[in-house]
Amino acid sequence: MTDVLDPPIAAEHHEHEEHHGPTGILKWMTSTDHKVIGMSYTVTSVIMMVIGGALAEVIRAQLTTSNNSLVSFAQYNELFTMHGSVMIYLFVGPFAFGALANIIVPIQIGAPDMAFPRLNALSYWLYLTGSITMLSGFFVAGGAANFGWVAYAPLSNSINTPGAGADLWIGALLLTGFSAIFTGVNLCATVFYLRAPGMTMFRMPIFTWNLLITAILILLAFPVLTAGLIMLYCDRHFGTHIFSVQGGGVPVLWQHIFWFWGHPEVYILALPFFGMVTEIIAVFSRKPVFGYKGMVFATLSIGALSLGVWAHHMFTTGVVLLPFFSIMSLLIAVPTGIKMFNWIGTMWRGEVWFSTAMLMAVGFLITFLIGGLTGIYLASPPLDFFTHDTYFVVAHFHSIVMALVLGAMGGLYYWGPKITGYLLNETIGKIQFWFLFIGTQVFTLPMYLLGLRGMPRRVATYVLHPSWQVLNQISTVGAILVGVSTVAFMVNVVYSWKKYPAGDNPWDGHTLEWFTTSPPPHHNFYRLPQIRSERPTWDYNHPGHTAAEHGHHHEPHQEPHDEVPVA
């Protein structure tokens, strides 16, 4: 076990530089380095995105014409269940708090690694085996899980959904659930205990702040899901009647438990991407984050409120307290609006550089705004009664999650050079952006109209109805455009492979990850700058500007500060 010295002293010991360890598959299997684990997470979750996307393309192909029979009804149920499950459980979440957070958070706060490196490795193995477990449902008799990604009781009991596919789905969520909980513990401990000297809580980058709140939400929400899944498994196999009316159980209890996890989960998915675009927008506008403290408190209030809104998914059950959940849901729009205002404020009068990452971040803002505003409609019970379980809801949350995909791609273009040491091609990146952005709008906007015209969710076919068919076809075209953008991304990775060396700080970044080398050395830093604001690297590289506290932008007339970093 290495006793890690503080970076200034570690710099004298150059055995860190020539750190030898196993290579190849053994390195992948045994590494406890957060960067290697984060890279494994990144690759696995992007593969999951491609699998989930392929399932979506089949769904869209089936819905292109009325009375289509490309897939059977049973296969269609499997397709939409697995599309939702793969994307939510195996792509967006692990990509956010497993992949980028794992790599970036320790570096942003000047830490040598995550607080519990072996637990971190265990998180990855549980995530990988969970993914394999869920996908193996396609290879068992009876097929994969087919009760929707929400597994509502009593549809998910052993009479209505027999077979191994459903059990594999439950088992997969147990594994990935524990993976997420361990990552949450790790992130909290890292942020609380491993910050560099001078990195006070209110100097942490917004991305790290958001990941801290995300980690707390994971710890609040995921154990509830895990407990619910164990109850569901007992109902299916051990003859308990927790969710069945016949034995005196309450089916709606499953919905309460599921959504008590499921709504915080929406913010567990979204907050890391809020943090990502905050970093991207600030760096590419060459300005500090506008309203830093406002951003932090907005994130905290989103996190706090997210625990009290779960039953807005259950308005039509008729047994929930409508005014409470409606008020709480509408309140979430306030901190989210503050964030939107601050993002625009950060860009306002900045020197905006529309690189691919910045385009993705701006695309995120627009798409998220569409999804967020329609979310306010759905928070109102009368409107929700009208649109519940129609394509309006599908369109709403696809606007949100496609915004997150835009953010994820922005994150890859922004931090990819730091992780790999090489930039991606900007021209192909911009082509990818336009396909992704336009494709997203083309596939979600018709769904809003479809929903208002009454098309229900989760139906494999629909009768010939001219306006439904045209709108579905437009939506399919959009899905193809999004597919093309994914191909463009893969082409870009292959084309740019080790072609454009990035250097340590290609974007003139603000935060500590841009102070170290690309890729960072073992234990991340040879030296650290003095930390006097929330953007220490920028202060170091622009000594004419004095350390700016919380977004106050000093004019560059002061004397260069003489705080030389301890080398």
Partner 1 sequence: MRTEAKVLLGLGLFFGVMSAVYWNWGHENAGSVMMFAGMLLCFVPGSYYFWWSRRMRARPEDDPNATQAQGAGVVGAFPGTSIWPFTLGMGAFFVVLALVFGIWFLIPGLGLVVWALFGGTAEGRRGGSQ
Return the residues of window 320-339 that contact partner 1 according to CB under 8 A. 320-321, 324
Question: Counting Cβ atoms within 10 Å, is residue 240 exposed (0-12), middle (13-18) or buried (19+)?
Answer: middle
Q: How many residues bind partner 1 (CB under 8 A)?
A: 82
CA-closest candidate to residue 211, choices 354, 102, 334, 313: 102
Give the whole-angstrom CA distance, residue 228 versus residue 226: 5
Q: How far is the CB of 124 from partner 1 (least distance, A)?
A: 8
Q: How far is the CB of 250 from partner 1 (least distance, A)?
A: 9
Complex with partner 1: residue 203 or 545, whichever CB lies closer: 203
* CB < 8 Å & 24+ apart, contacts of 248-252: 251/152, 251/153, 251/154, 252/314, 252/317, 252/319
Question: Which string of DSSP letters, residue by residue, matches 381-411?
Answer: HHHHHHHTTBHHHHHHHHHHHHHHHHHHHHH
138 lines the binding site for partner 1 (CB under 8 A): no
Which residues in 229-288 contact partner 1 (CB under 8 A)? 233, 253, 256-257, 260
Which residues in 409-428 contact partner 1 (CB under 8 A)? none
Selected range binding partner 1 among 166-174, 333-341, 352-360, 365-373, rule: CB under 8 A: 166-174
Selected range binding partner 1 among 23-31, 54-62, 449-457, 466-474, rule: CB under 8 A: 23-31
User: Which parts of 431-519 are beta strand (E)?
Assistant: 500-501
Which residues in 303-322 contact partner 1 (CB under 8 A)? 303-304, 307-308, 310-311, 320-321
Complex with partner 1: residue 244 or 425, whichever CB lies closer: 244
Selected range binding partner 1 among 219-227, 462-470, 494-502, 537-545, rule: CB under 8 A: 219-227
Could you count the other beta carbons within 10 Å of the beta carbon of residue 561?
A: 15
Complex with partner 1: residue 468 or 525, whichever CB lies closer: 525
172 lines the binding site for partner 1 (CB under 8 A): yes
Complex with partner 1: residue 267 or 448, whichever CB lies closer: 267
129 lines the binding site for partner 1 (CB under 8 A): yes
Q: How far is the CB of 443 from partner 1 (least distance, A)?
A: 35
Could you count the other beta carbons within 10 Å of the beta carbon of residue 183?
A: 32
Selected range binding partner 1 among 49-57, 296-304, 391-399, 405-413, rule: CB under 8 A: 296-304
Give the whole-angstrom CA distance, residue 75 versus residue 56: 13
Complex with partner 1: residue 115 or 482, whichever CB lies closer: 115
- The gap from C-alpha 534 to its chain's centroid, in whole angstroms, comes to 23
7 lines the binding site for partner 1 (CB under 8 A): yes
Q: How far is the CB of 426 from partner 1 (least distance, A)?
A: 35
> What is the CA angle 482-488-490, rounded to 5?
110
Encoded one letter per residue, x for contact with partner 1 by CB under 8 A and - for no contact, window 530-549 reads xxx-----------------
CA distance between the termini of the chain: 25
Question: Which string of DSSP letters, residue by residue, matches 222-280?
Answer: HHHHHHHHHHHHHHHHS---SS-TTTT--HHHHHHHHHHHHHHHHHHHHHHHHHHHHHH
CA-closest candidate to residue 267, choices 97, 86, 80, 440: 97
Give the whole-angstrom CA distance, residue 414 versus residue 407: 10
Encoded one letter per residue, x for contact with partner 1 by CB under 8 A and - for no contact, window 492-531 reads -------------------------------x---xxxxx
178 lines the binding site for partner 1 (CB under 8 A): yes
Q: Are 165 and 75 in contact (CB under 8 A)?
A: no
Which residues in 58-117 contact partner 1 (CB under 8 A)? 111-113, 115, 117
Selected range binding partner 1 among 60-68, 165-173, 333-341, 464-472, rule: CB under 8 A: 165-173
Q: What is the DSSP letter of 536?
A: H
21 lines the binding site for partner 1 (CB under 8 A): yes
Cis peptide before 519 (omega within 30 of 0): yes
Q: How far is the CB of 307 from partner 1 (least distance, A)?
A: 6
